[in-house]
Chains A and B, each alone.
Chain A
Amino acid sequence: MGYEFLGLPLFYYLAMFAKVMVVFAFLIFTVAYSVYAERKIIGHIQIRLGPMITGWHGLLQPVADGLKLLFKEEIAQSQVSRFAFRLAPLVALVPAFAAFAVIPFGDTVEIGGYRIPLQIAAYYDPALGRVEDVNVGVLYVLAMSSLGVYGIVLAGWSSNSKYSLLGGLRSSAQMISYELAASFALVAVFMLSQSLSLHKIVADQAGLFGWYIWKQPLAFVLFCICAVAETNRTPFDLPEAESELVAGFSTEYSSMKYATFFMAEYANMVTVSAVAATFFLGGWHGPFPPVINFIAKVYFFLFCFIWIRATFPRYRYDQLMRLGWKVFLPLGLLNIVVTALAIVL
């Protein structure tokens, strides 16, 4: 254990690798089973049973779906722009996972005499006696969630089909509009914490009444609604308005490429839920062991996503844009001004 690399013990790198693997496995599992949970919950809300055949109460359904899509023939029509067409699903999926690098999912744990923070891009500095993580974590999360738009634009453009193009345009317009309002909601939070480090933001929220949801209720509501819009979910799932756009940007995609877009949507949901839990619900703080707290909060948000989908009809496109630019954006700015005044006074 005496080896060092770039001034840090080798063990830190091993720990980081282990964290990456565990978090990735957990994310894949959550993404796969959130699809199952969605079908099951919506089924029960509609007084149906949902999937029941594959495995006990349909528990193997995600596995069956995955295998089916994997073995399907890939169809790419001849006019597609090959490179971008293949790249787009990955560009949509990877940033959603990458955002998890800075999200703290637990306090530090001690393994083999080293303190390991449960956050991928972080290490414990014994000299300073504190956790060092990415000091621009908030910007990183926002950057990653914006990057996902490129995948959708690329998919829409490279498919060389009017439905894909219009779906992609709608989707990107929507994501960019709501990204702004969501960012404004987060700005208010890091004005309070006076740090862009997610570790610090979570550490500041100790105790039930330290959660930023109490200090920033408006920002919380804004962020939640914008999160639904940003992930292109009902009631803001216009890019997938079947009656108008077939399947939007993913019209020309089949087999595993389509599945990748599908996973990207759910991975985005998980990411946004994790961000909401981190910023407003105190991250890993709570009554249970830290990691369990965090997971419970993320799953609560995922349930809300599904619940909302089962309840509300779709917005019209002009209503969506009006809501984004004329309601949420001014409210976000107002919230920042009020927060700033409160801090100064």
Chain B
Amino acid sequence: MIIPLLQGLKITLTHMFKKPITLQYPKERPVVAPGFRGLHALNVAHDRAKCVACYLCPTVCPAKCITVEAAEDANHDKYAAKYEIEILRCIFCGFCVEACPVDALRMTENFELAGYTREEFVYSKERLLSPPSLDGRGQGEGEVLK
């Protein structure tokens, strides 16, 4: 009856001298693993979005969070006049990136997606084209996010 109690005390005592696995979050940031699926970004080629508005991403999206509206530009090319991702519904599965035939979409390492209003969570084409620079965030000295 006594020995298990002492064993328990021994375990807690040894744990006390282990290195804490927590991060001092706003100061220390985790280094995210390769292949991390954070906020989406639209890829750019020749100063314009590569997206050809083929509708494969909204079709494959299981959360139905992508809205695309196609239009025709001066060269009679199809392009996305509207490309919106509602990040509150997004499940970050990455199917949209996999489905894209022209490599127009990628996922960044940005995981800090908090906002104050509902509108902030609907990412428009402009915001997806210019992902906010991580200003060193996501590249902290901390451990790899497991």
Contact = CB atoms under 8 A, between A and B. Distances in A.
Contacts of B16: 41, 44-45
B21 A311 contact: no
Interface in B1-59: 5, 8-9, 11-13, 15-22, 24
A45 B22 CA distance: 12
A14 B98 CA distance: 83
Contacts of A311: 8-9, 11-12
A52 B9 CA distance: 25
A47 B24 contact: no
A99 to B, nearest CB: 28
Contact of A48 (B9, B17, B20): B20
A308 B15 CA distance: 14
Contacts of B24: 49, 52
Interface in B50-93: none
A47 B5 contact: no
A147 interface: no
Contacts of B21: 47-48
A60 interface: no
A307 interface: yes
Nearest to A53: B24
A337 B91 CA distance: 71
A44 B20 contact: yes
Contacts of A44: 15-18, 20
Max count, chain B CB within 10 A of own CB: residue among A41, A44, A311: A311
Contacts of B15: 44-47
A25 to B, nearest CB: 29
Interface string A286-323: 00000000000000000000011011100000000000
Nearest to B17: A44
Contact of B8 (A41, A43, A48, A312): A312
Contact of A49 (B12, B13, B17, B22): B22
Given A312-B5, A312-B8, A307 B22 contact: no
Interface in A33-52: 41, 43-49, 52
Contacts of B13: 45, 307
A311 B16 CA distance: 11
Contacts of B17: 44
Contacts of B18: 44, 47
A308 B21 CA distance: 22
A228 to B, nearest CB: 12
Nearest to A48: B22
Contacts of B22: 47-49
A97 B17 CA distance: 33
Nearest to B6: A311
A307 B11 CA distance: 11
Contacts of A307: 9, 12-13
A41 B15 CA distance: 10
A44 B21 CA distance: 10
Contacts of A52: 24
A308 B20 contact: no
A41 B90 CA distance: 40
Contacts of A308: 9
Nearest to B23: A49
A307 B8 CA distance: 10
A5 B143 CA distance: 69
Contacts of A45: 12-13, 15-16
24 contacts: A41-B16, A44-B16, A44-B17, A44-B18, A44-B20, A45-B12, A45-B13, A45-B15, A46-B15, A47-B15, A47-B18, A47-B19, A47-B20, A48-B21, A48-B22, A49-B20, A49-B24, A52-B24, A307-B9, A307-B12, A310-B12, A311-B8, A311-B11, A312-B5
Given A47-B19, A47-B20, A49-B22, 14 more contacts: A43-B20, A44-B16, A45-B13, A47-B15, A47-B22, A48-B21, A49-B24, A52-B24, A307-B12, A308-B9, A310-B12, A311-B8, A311-B12, A312-B5
Closest 6 CB pairs of A and B: A311-B12, A49-B20, A44-B16, A45-B16, A45-B12, A311-B8
